[in-house]
């Protein structure tokens, strides 16, 4: 997940190209002359994440809600994480 307060869903572009997940955010400029000083003004950013062969690129999805972008990277069949609880003596 990625914290992105002050941005809208329309400000994001999420794509995959050649095993690289690209997340780009560009905030649209707003002409608001009522501000004398603004402490936090989120601009834009770009993040790249290299994907491995375990990720199902066709099933990647993204959701933006309440200032948080959540990108889900499901694994292909056969690469699921297995969990084994270990007892403590």
- Rounded to the nearest angstrom, the gap between the alpha carbon of residue 41 and the centroid of all alpha carbons in its chain is 19
With DSSP H G I counted as helix, E B as strand and the rest as coil, what are the percentages for the chain, rounded to 5? 5, 35, 55
Per-residue pLDDT of 52-79, as tens digits, reads 999 999 999 999 988 888 999 999 998 8
pLDDT band at residue 26 using 50, 70 and 90 as cut-offs: confident
pLDDT for the residue numbered 18? 92
Read off the pLDDT band of 41 (50, 70, 90).
low
| Residue 42 clears pLDDT 60, i.e. is over it | no
């Amino acid at each position: 997940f990625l914290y992105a307060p002050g941005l809208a869903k329309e400000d994001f572009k999420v794509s995959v190209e050649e095993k690289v997940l690209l997340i780009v955010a560009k905030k649209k400029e707003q002409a608001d002359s009522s501000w004398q000083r603004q402490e936090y003004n989120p601009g834009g950013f770009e993040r790249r994440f290299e994907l491995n062969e375990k990720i199902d690129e066709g099933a990647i999805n993204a959701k933006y809600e309440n200032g948080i972008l959540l990108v889900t990277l499901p694994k292909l069949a056969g690469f699921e994480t297995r969990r084994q609880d270990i007892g403590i003596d």
